[in-house]
Amino acid sequence: MIRHADTVRTRIFQFPATARGAAEYHATLQVEDDTLPYEDQLQAILEAYADAADGKTVLLRRFFLSDPANQAARLEERLARLPAAATSVIGQSPLNGTKIAAWVYAVSGGQWRDGVFSHNGYKHIWLGGRTSGEEGSEAQMAALFREYDAALAEKGMDVAGNCLRTWIFVRDVDTHYGGVVKGRRDYFNGIGLTPQTHFIASTGIAGYSADPHSLVQMDTCATAGLQPEQIRYLHAYDHLSPTALYGVTFERGTAVTYGDRTHVLISGTASIDSAGQVVHVGDPVKQTGRLLENVGALLSEAGAGFGDITYSIVYLRDTADYRRVRETFARLCPGLDPVYVLAPVCRPAWLVEMECYAITPAGNPAYAAF
């Protein structure tokens, strides 16, 4: 009998509960035995998930699959037996040769009801796996934001004022990303999000669902109850350009300060310079070094460092680069232990991208605790 403890590497970051704040947990689950059939890998991952989620409220669970068309239905059937949570199932093959990996975000304390986690006057809503039936990536992207805005409106929220982070997964990113960019930019213009106001931290990357007609899938998080001064957008202009410089509309990162901690949401970050140009074209090792330099600059702007990272995901365009990129991460950031998946970045010349989330204990007592 396969035991998950023998075949799943579980990494759990815990930010403990404070005097008034809830505890937070980020867990990454990675199968290590690539010889196991999918059913055994699924069983092992779900056992590890049950352990990681025990006694907690799961706000988002994302599963990375190597072949959603053949794997997603069985996973979703098993998840339906578990307590509800926002769920994302995405076609991004784990690069260690296995069939499934997962990232889980959970909390303890507070109240969870009807998809909303409430505590200390804040309301947090995480949504996952949202798709659209429209034709074309531009129309699907716009429809996803319209539908998301409508869902938030039911909770007294909206995209412009409350959404903190999106993940946008694009089928055949080299073909369909242009439509995603236009659909998002036009929608943002319509709700007043411009270079003169702000955008939203985001990862836009290759990924696909089991539905062949779905060109775009989106995961999101939003929070109500924040004062405007609790939110700070991260730029690191000496390292990275404004995204609007090359026509896209997202923030490089967002820092959210609570009374007892600060959340740092780092968008998908690649080897780019302050003029918006790709750095180290054709060299995945040097691109890895530059993206880590860029991520470090964004973290530093928020008063955080690599030791504060709660989870990280590394996206590669080419499986042949996996060993060298993994070795470079191990050398430059030992102990980080990202999830590595196959997912081309929005520009073909970018060979590697990273996203991460960090939490620091540097809060501001003028605000309520998380």
The reported pLDDT for the residue numbered 67 is: 98
Q: What angle do CA 26, 157, 123 make, to 5 degrees?
A: 40
Which of 32, 5, 36, 8 is closest to 96 using CA atoms?
Answer: 32
Residue pair 162/120 in contact (Cβ under 8 Å)? The answer is no
Going by pLDDT thresholds of 50, 70 and 90, the confidence category of residue 4 is: low
The model's confidence at residue 65, banded by pLDDT at 50, 70 and 90, is very high
Burial of 103-113, coded b for 16+ CB within 10 Å and e otherwise, reads: bbbbbebbebe
* Alpha-carbon separation of residue 239 from 82, 235, 298, 299 (angstroms): 44, 9, 9, 12
pLDDT at 307: 96
pLDDT in tens, 111-137: 999 899 999 999 999 999 999 999 999
Rounded to an integer, what distance in angstroms lies between the CA atom of residue 264 and that of residue 255? 4
Could you read off the pLDDT of 356-368 as tens digits, one per residue? Answer: 999 999 999 999 9
pLDDT at residue 308, as a whole number: 98
- Please report the pLDDT score of residue 3 as a whole number: 52
Domains in the chain, start-ordered, CATH in brackets? 1-114 (3.30.1330.40), 120-225 (3.30.1330.40), 233-370 (3.30.1330.40)
For residue 236, pLDDT beyond 60: yes
Query: Residue 239 and residue 86: Cα distance in Å, rounded?
Result: 34
What is the rounded average pLDDT of the residues 146-169? 98
CA 31/CA 28 separation, integer angstroms: 10
Pair type for strands 253-257 and 231-234 = antiparallel
Q: What is the mean pLDDT of residues 50-67?
A: 97
AA letter at 41: Q
pLDDT higher than 70, residue 143? yes
Identify which of 247, 253, 252, 200 has the alpha carbon closest to the alpha carbon of residue 223: 200
Q: Is the pLDDT of residue 2 over 50?
A: no
The pLDDT of 220-239, averaged and rounded, is 98
The average pLDDT across 31-38 equals: 96
Using CA atoms, how far apart are residues 268 and 166, in angstroms rounded to an integer? 10
For position 1, what pLDDT does the model report? 40
Closest CA to 345 of 309, 314, 321: 314
**Tens digits of per-residue pLDDT, 166-191?**
999 999 999 999 999 999 999 999 99
What is the mean predicted confidence (pLDDT) over 233-239?
Answer: 98
Mean pLDDT (whole number) for 136-164? 98
| CB distance 91 to 207 below 8 Å | yes
pLDDT per position as a tens digit, 244-291: 999 999 999 999 999 999 999 999 999 999 999 999 999 999 999 999
pLDDT exceeding 90 applies to what percent of the chain?
97
The alpha-helical segments, DSSP class H, found in the chain are 4-7, 38-53, 68-79, 137-153, 159-162, 173-190, 284-301, 322-332
48: CB partners within 8 A, 6+ apart: 4, 5, 8, 10, 29, 102
Q: What pLDDT sits at residue 335?
A: 87
The b/e string for 54-88 (b: 16+ C-beta within 10 A; e otherwise) is eebbbbbbbbbbbebeebbeebeeebeeeeebbbb
Average pLDDT over the chain, rounded to an integer: 96
